[in-house]
Structure 1
């Protein structure tokens, strides 16, 4: 077997999660190395200054260490579900703007909401309200069509899924009673996909003596 690209990952990291789902959807096979963040492998640190997951090292030595770039690399090689909506030339730009809004505005509010809930901060409802500004946009879109960008799944669905998952788990009872039935339906449907199940398989932290873990096909 020819050598495979190497993905440094962490099961619960939302950025690594989206990278894994992108590789699975593109059927791009890699060697998976689960990282112990308390003892980061020197091999990863030597190729990526950011010192955190995900990091994809290609066979030619090229390093891709941003999760969206990993998804795009994979899907530009093979996109059997047309997640990039190549039939609509302008859609990719719209998708990337949408994901950027998620990654900057929503994720910032989500971090504050999670911390406030954990430490019983009186501002918890305020931060949750900031998150809901974005969630309401998703609900409106999902009332119009089955997926975020249209009637078919796109890059956006897989890119934001890990963060909506986190949002739904901060105050579970509140979320289940919240006025977002379309979002709840969408999230449940994503959980039921084989790609999510495969992406979330637990692996032991990588060591040099560990057997190779091949990852990338549903």
Structure 2
């Protein structure tokens, strides 16, 4: 479902909005779960949080302006927690584009 939403131009039988709307109930359920706890199952990070984070991140980034307008406060706070974590920022460090002609482009 995420693939069809993210790459809607590859799936001409349906629109981006159709797939976004089909996925939204699941996203809303996650937001509901986060009303009770800081993380999905309790107040500590668990495998469910780590497993779902990349998918929610991608879902949000397809149309960030739209996602930010949703009233999914708990899910948005949860996502921000992971996006701003030192570990995530360390592993997702941006490097300059590799150019074979320049020796100092990549560590």
TM-score tier (shorter): 0.7 to 0.9
- Residues 126-180 of structure 1 deviation map (CA, whole Å, 9 limit, x = unaligned): 2111111210110010111100111111111111111111000111110010121
TM-score (norm 2): 0.78
Q: Which structure has the highest strand share of the two?
A: 1
Unaligned runs of 5+ in 2: 99-107
Which aligned segments of 4 or more residues in structure 1 are displaced greater than 4 angstroms? 202-205
Partner of 2:44: 152
Larger radius of gyration: 1
- Residues 190-214 of structure 1 deviation map (CA, whole Å, 9 limit, x = unaligned): 1121111122124688xxxxxxxxx
TM-score (norm 1): 0.40
Cα separation, 1, equivalents of 2:51 and 2:36: 20
Query: What displacement does 1:123 show?
Result: 2.3
Partner of 1:180: 72
> What SS is found at the alignment partner of 2:35?
helix
Q: Which structure has the highest helix share of the two?
A: 2
Aligned length: 95
- Residues 23-63 of structure 1 deviation map (CA, whole Å, 9 limit, x = unaligned): xxxxxxxxxxxxxxxxxxxxxxxxxxxxxxxxxxxxxxxxx
Partner of 1:113: 5
